[in-house]
Amino acid sequence: MKRHLLEAADLDRADATLVLDTAAQIDAALAGREVKKLPTLRGRTVVNLFYEDSTRTRISFELAAKRLSADVINFSAKGSSVSKGESLKDTALTLEAMGSDAIVVRHSASGAPHRLAHWVRGSVVNAGDGTHEHPTQALLDAYTVRRRLGRLEGVRVAIVGDVLHSRVARSNVRLLHTLGAEVTLVAPPTLLPVGVGSWPAEVSYGLDPVLPKSDVVMMLRVQAERMHASFFPSAREYSRRYGLDAPRMAALPDDAIVMHPGPMNRGMEIAADVADSARSTIVEQVGNGVSVRMAVLYLLLGGGVQ
């Protein structure tokens, strides 16, 4: 393992498998226990440095660090010295001077965690940067697929929706490819990035032909906050063409699962009855997120790499 986790490409197949295996062991070790706490990272400090709003990722990281007995400091840009104009570098050096061992960072600017990694001595974990990457989300998604389907090699995954703005899609394409899955991106041409042809994934403009040959359908959120141009004519039309509703779900193979990184727009990219169906892993993904992030923190912070 490298010292930082900045993007899915930081993990080769062995590393990624180690994270998933470690998460599975942690899950098994804590299952059914009254004391869901391990003493592993006692005395270490993890800072959650969040420049963008987040509920599940921040709480998930916080819980993961606390279950490993690390001390956690939550820092959000609102109401801090950032609003007085402090730079990312100065904020990071300040936090490090106070003794942080790891910084979990979310930032609206793509590449911010990379810059940060050059300035600090501790580990940096990317918890989502702009439209670039969100590697721990990809890890928890891979973990969820492996738990549900029992394998990743050869699993056919369709990633549907706003690929252009989605850091989840970027990280997932990279990681799932590393782990041997076959990815198909499904989106209107306006929501696909330039150069998508060089990604290790197939591309389809239509959802219906892809569904019968998918083991996993991963719906992406339509990110209203990033929709500053007319990427599609209307929400209704998008929902008609790319939304996952019950009739579309029926076209999936019998054991296929439906995923969503959350937060979801019910009725937009995913119908409510699909989101609440037995095939949906959306709630499971949240729970798995804590185990996977525990594994990441353990592997990055648990002493020098051998």
For 50, 71, 84, the CA distances from 79, given in Å and listed in that order, are 12, 21, 9
Three-state DSSP state, 303: coil
**140 or 219: whose CB is closer to other proteins?**
140
Using the contact rule CB under 8 A, the part of the chain among 22-30, 154-162, 165-173, 267-275 near other proteins is 22-30
Terminal Cα distance for the chain, rounded: 9
Site string for other proteins, 47-76 (x = CB under 8 A): ---------------------x--------
CB 306, CB 162: distance < 8 Å: no
Instruction: Please name the residue ranges forming H helices in 7-151.
Output: 13-30, 56-67, 88-97, 112-119, 135-149
Which one among 9, 15, 18, 251 touches other proteins, defined by CB under 8 A? Answer: 18
263 known member of a binding site: yes
56 known member of a binding site: yes
For the bound state, the minimum distance from the C-beta of residue 6 to other proteins, rounded and expressed in Å, comes to: 19
Tokens for 150?
């029992």
Tokens for 73?
């400091």
Helix axes 135-149, 13-30, angle to 10 degrees: 70
Using the contact rule CB under 8 A, the part of the chain among 23-31, 81-89, 214-222, 242-250 near other proteins is 23-31
The catalytic residues are 56-57, 84, 106, 134
For 1, 31, 282, the CA distances from 278, given in Å and listed in that order, are 36, 22, 10
Which one among 8, 22, 142, 186 touches other proteins, defined by CB under 8 A? Answer: 22
| Interface with other proteins, residue 239, by CB under 8 A | no
Compute φ and ψ for 159, nearest 5 degrees. -105, 115
For the bound state, the minimum distance from the C-beta of residue 37 to other proteins, rounded and expressed in Å, comes to: 7
Which one among 3, 9, 10, 40 touches other proteins, defined by CB under 8 A? Answer: 40
57 known member of a binding site: yes
Which one among 33, 78, 84, 121 touches other proteins, defined by CB under 8 A? Answer: 33
Which one among 5, 11, 26, 207 touches other proteins, defined by CB under 8 A? Answer: 26
CB 263, CB 285: distance < 8 Å: no
Binding site for other proteins (CB under 8 A): 1, 18, 21-22, 25-26, 28-29, 33, 35, 37-40, 68, 298-299, 302-306
